[in-house]
Amino acid sequence: MATYELLKQEGSAKRAVFHTVHGDIQTPVFMNVGTVAAIKGAVSTMDLKEIKCQVELSNTYHLHVRPGDKLIKEMGGLHKFMVWDRPILTDSGGFQVFSLAGLRKIKEEGVHFNSHIDGRKIFMGPEQSMQIQSNLGSDMCMAFDECIENPAPRDYVQKSIDRTYRWLVRCKAENARLNALPDTVNPQQMLWGINQGGTYADLRISHMQRIAELDLPGYAIGGLAVGETAQEMYDIIEAVEEHMPTNKTRYLMGVGTPTNIIEGVARGVDFFDCVMPARNARHARLFTWEGAINLKNAKYILDESPIDPKCDCPVCRRYSRAYVRHLFAAEEMLAMRLAVMHNLYFYNKLMERIRESLDNGTFSEFRREYSEKLARKI
């Protein structure tokens, strides 16, 4: 059986199943971000199952720094460590190098930078990133790349994507070597390549064509949502999409709003992740099927209705807007927990409804009804 099973298409939108050793992933899918093997907001892996999470995403750099990937391997790998028996994707650490821009030093062999925790010097290159991710034992591991800031000079972007390609070749060789070792945590770990190129469509296309030749199980579009407009992002996706293999995953990294996701699906993307739903929730900004609300608004003080009357998440089934608002006003931890659970459920339910619309051949109608509506603030 193929790893990626394309079931149906509606225009460029794809409905598929991605097979892993920890279960099948129904796509399009939103991966719930647990940077340090936990969702910020006191949401456990038990909760994740209740709120319809299919895939958890953890961060290579952060887990390498603390508690250490070797410790996690000794504990039997990340699945066992965090008690999660569904698929996990780990990113490569490349975005953290970008985030720690003032602390980095990029060379051909890799990147020298300082830990954000204690300032100690760290070196990470393709081989080190693959080793860390192998120790974690994730189902999908991401290639080590440089996330280019926007805007960036064209000549720098060209040099960067050439180096990112060379790093990908090294990642592929190291991933294969590690998977063959007798003590590897997950010998079925799958490497995904990452397309870069800033907002230069021709550089994006040439880079995508080169990495597609490596025949990896999946591909991502990286380096977006870093300052460009939504339309620029959509234009890049459209330019790259036709050069991405149809029978492989297409992952739009770090994106985004519900509207971004609907528009991404319409352009052929089927994997998404973003910290935004959890981050917004921790500040009482919550998503509903009529648009986003700010629960700190005084108009909700006596509101007995659930956060979203159309939502059947564990929070909306039990608690009122007035109560959750009170928890935020009292600075109770429970406020963040309930809000994060609601927002992540909303995103996971959004993906479920997108999949249902693709199954029924009604995605274009779903997009027409919700793409603009979900961007509203009410």
Q: How many CB atoms lie within 10 A of CB 54?
A: 21
Nearest to 218 by CA among 59, 20, 8, 1: 20
Half-sphere exposure of 200 (CA within 13 A, CB side): 19
Tell me, letter by letter, the H, E, C secondary structure of 17-49: EEEECCEEEEECEEEEECCCCCECCCECHHHHH
Kindly calculate the radius of gyration of the chain based on its CA atoms and give it in whole angstroms.
Answer: 20
Cα separation, 155 vs 68, in Å, equals 37
The per-residue DSSP string of 306-348 comes to -S-TT--STTTTT--HHHHHHHHHTT-HHHHHHHHHHHHHHHH
Counting other chains too, the contacts that 209-216 makes at CB distance below 8 Å and 24 or more residues apart are 209/243, 210/165, 211/165, 211/168, 212/243, 212/244, 212/245, 214/168, 214/169, 214/172, 216/172, 216/190, 216/191, 216/192, 216/248
Cα separation, 34 vs 220, in Å, equals 19
The two tokens of residue 317 are 């089934």
Cα separation, 153 vs 213, in Å, equals 27
The two tokens of residue 343 are 């927002």
> Annotated catalytic sites, by residue?
91, 273
Nearest to 64 by CA among 20, 116, 108, 140: 116
The torsion angles phi and psi of 350, rounded to 5 degrees, stand at -55, -45
